[in-house]
Amino acid sequence: MKSRGGGIAVIFCVLLWDLNCLAALGGDVSSVQSDALHLQGTLRVTPNALYALHEIETPTGIQVREYVSPAGKVFAVAWQGPWRPDLHQLLGSYFVPFQQAARASKQRPGRAPLSIHQANLFVEHSGQMRFFRGRAYLSDEFPAGVKAESIR
């Protein structure tokens, strides 16, 4: 009789790996490295008194900035470049609420700027051929002294 324990352990590891790779907005600081690997980009960290800015630049010219609070949580992300980055990767568990709000919105995400503001989640995205930009943040996770205008 074969043991099922090995198969369950493999499934658990795969699920755990997937959760770590999809953590970004609202995730912890370790998720930034997962994002850099997923985007195949280089990572540069610039600390300041209010937060640490983690900048990822991809070989295709996409720039992603992840803002990490002193508590180690990603409270905002911003992006720009010739293509839209993988928003599922950057928004993590907030991707589905974003996607649902975008579908329910009268705005056309592929044709015009998109602005989603729900309770704690703010996502703004715009672009045209070869230049996209956007930002997403959790308003109740901002460290004291940080303003939404600084997320760019």
pLDDT digits (tens, 9 = 90+) for 97-134: 999 988 887 765 556 788 999 889 999 999 888 899 99
10 found inside a domain: no
Cα gap 95→6, rounded to integer Å: 32
Alpha carbon distance, N-terminus to C-terminus of the chain: 58
Domain span at residue 62 reads 24-150
Mean pLDDT across the stretch 134-141? 96
Is the per-residue pLDDT at 143 higher than 60?
Answer: yes
pTM of the model: 0.80
Cα gap 77→14, rounded to integer Å: 26
Burial of 56 (0-12, 13-18, 19+ CB in 10 A): buried
pLDDT reported for residue 104:
85
Count of domains forming the chain: 1
29 found inside a domain: yes
**Residue holding tokens 């493999």?**
10
The confidence band for 38, taking pLDDT boundaries of 50, 70 and 90, is: confident
Is the per-residue pLDDT at 22 higher than 70?
Answer: no
104 found inside a domain: yes
123 found inside a domain: yes
CA distances (Å), origin 61, targets 25, 79, 84: 21, 11, 10
9 found inside a domain: no
Mean pLDDT across the stretch 12-38? 65
Orientation angle between helical segments 5-22 and 30-39, nearest 10 degrees: 90
6 found inside a domain: no
Is the per-residue pLDDT at 69 higher than 80?
Answer: yes
pLDDT reported for residue 129:
80
